[in-house]
Amino acid sequence: MKVYKPPMGWNTWNTFARNIDEKLVMESADKLVETGLAECGYNYIVIDDCWALKQRDENGKLVPDPEKFPSGMKHLSDYIHSKGLKFGMYSCCGTLTCAGYPGSYQHEFDDAKSFADWGVDLLKYDYCFRPTTIPPEILYRRMSIALKNCGRDILFSACSCGFDDTREWIGTTGSHMWRTTDDIYDSWESLKKLSKVGLENAKYGGISRFADMDMLIVGMYGKGNVGLGGCTFEEYKTHFSLWALLNSPLMIGCDIRNMDEDTKKILMNKEVIAINQDEESNVPFDARIINSPYDDDIFVYAKMLSNGDYAIGFFNFTDEKTNEWQTHFTLEKLGLDEATGKTLLMKELWTGETERVENGIVRFKLEPHTCKLYRASVIDK
């Protein structure tokens, strides 16, 4: 059986949108390896929208823009593969892509064949300009079955942005990851909005079918296509921690040719990545016993890990410091009640600090916009 973990990599869209070419893609592939990002697990290089000519050729095939990609897609994919990386591309279930390039509607099998010929390993599949007379699940099944029959393993990344109750039908489409919301922007408000929706959708994910909270904005600092005001280091850390805990794919969106040390520190925290890449992809659950009605933007979620540990994350998306009851969890909620004789030894994955849980409960105050993310192992009391 083919089992995927949340896909990790880099995608052109957040920073570059239509300003893409083979030089950028090759340089980014080089950087993914040189910086050590690839070694951390980021192994997909994904070209998003705006790579094609506006017209198909006389045989109805998609044509890569020769000005942007003069050596062609096979050459580019060979280059990416030679670095030990994987190659992702983009299309759409409608007549046009979101940026107005040809979509795959009624060309699904031909386009899947082109992607296979080009050595593609992942296809992101968008939701614009679609014929509304056809149910969306059918449009996604079309491309999915085409990919599964194209002669190459191609990971199918559905991007219907949570619209039309995506979570109710996406499991029938054979997709491996699926977007829960419309687009992310590089601002705290955007993170806050996407986080809530991500939490609502986490339980609809599972092994090889990951709820995709959209590409990361870590390290963008307001620059590029989706750059708005930008976020602070602490805010990017909160963002990355939540995406990791909720099994979201981790697709970098900043310019990895120019990352500062803070950005590397976040993206390359191997212990946080291990929480995301855990083999069982278990569903995270609310670890608090009581929730105050006023703490809509405060979350404490735990996820069981395959080696018998727990990942536990505390998130404060409000502008106030939390009180201790807003940021607490109990051992009982984790299946470790008094009678088990067990407790937890917790390690915070950003500071390395450890603490032992006494009296069955952990409570503390959390600064605004910050988080704490722990790996906790079960020990005797």
Is 43 or 97 the residue whose CB approaches ligand GLA more closely?
97
Give CA–CA dist 298/82, Å, rounded. 44
Residue 161: CB minimum distance to ligand GLA, A: 6
Q: Long-range contacts: 187-193, Cβ < 8 Å, 24+?
A: 187/228, 187/229, 187/230, 187/231, 188/229, 188/231, 188/235, 188/369, 190/217, 190/228, 191/217, 191/231, 191/235, 191/238, 191/239, 191/317, 192/297, 192/317
Is 195 or 322 the residue whose CB approaches ligand GLA more closely?
195
Phi, psi of 372 (to 5 degrees): -130, 135
Concerning whether 295 is annotated as a catalytic residue, the answer is: no
| Angle at alpha carbon of residue 246, lines to 371 and 226, rounded to 5° | 75
Q: Which residues contact 165 (CB under 8 A, 6 or more apart)?
A: none
Give CA–CA dist 179/192, Å, rounded. 16
Concerning whether 65 is annotated as a catalytic residue, the answer is: no
Give CA–CA dist 345/163, Å, rounded. 41
Q: Which of 357, 362, 364, 363 is nearest to 340 (CA)?
A: 357
Residue 369: CB minimum distance to ligand GLA, A: 24
Residue 170: CB minimum distance to ligand GLA, A: 15
Strands, E assignment, the chain: 8-11, 44-46, 86-92, 122-126, 155-158, 177-179, 210-212, 250-252, 285-286, 298-304, 310-316, 328-330, 342-348, 354-356, 361-363, 371-380
Residue 218: CB minimum distance to ligand GLA, A: 16
Out of 49, 126, 212, 255, the active site residue is 126
Give the interface with ligand GLA as residue ranges (CB under 6 A): 13, 48-49, 97-99, 126, 159, 161, 183
Residue 301: CB minimum distance to ligand GLA, A: 25
Distances (CA, A) of 362 to 136, 138, 140, 331: 45, 47, 44, 8
Is 49 or 121 the residue whose CB approaches ligand GLA more closely?
49
Is 17 or 304 the residue whose CB approaches ligand GLA more closely?
17
Out of 21, 30, 164, 183, the active site residue is 183
Residue 259: CB minimum distance to ligand GLA, A: 21
Active site residues per annotation: 126, 183
